[in-house]
Amino acid sequence: MLSVGAKAPDFTLTDQNGKSVSLSDFAGKRIVLYFYPKDNTPGCTRQACAFAGVYEEFRTLNAVVIGISKDSSTSHQKFAQKYSLPFLLLSDPELIAIQAYGVWQEKKNYGKVSMGVVRSTYVIDPDGIIEQALPNVKPDTNAAEILDYLRS
């Protein structure tokens, strides 16, 4: 994981509509950048729907919500349509942003060790500096936790 106070690495990835999106496109805004393992899995769906449920509040706080996983743009498009997700989902199959942000890590699941995305969230300030770095976030409380932080 990157540290609070570090410059957020820029990247360019493809969104759910096949459009190239760079982090630098959002200069001057706060960015909520959350990394998740896989579209349409129970935890990831709950997390995305929680962000969608309070999305307008993020917008009133001038914050952009962006979700990133290894899934394809096509998978993201189906996921976003199925759950009416109003924010960007970026596809990172080459692990460009996932590795730059240090969320590709060893995971243990039922005794089996493998590499994967650790569910993590960053808040990036309008100047591109990481102001919050949260590893191992809970899918059900992550959106509310970030919203509370932004309000304070």
Residues assigned a catalytic role: 44
- d(CA 103, CA 109) in angstroms, rounded, equals 16
The answer to whether the CB of 151 falls within 8 A of the CB of 61 is yes
Task: Please write down the HEC assignment for all residues of 23-88.
Answer: HHHHCCCEEEEEECCCCCCHHHHHHHHHHHHCHHHHHHCCEEEEEEECCCHHHHHHHHHHHCCCCE
Whole-number Å distance between alpha carbons of 137 and 20: 27
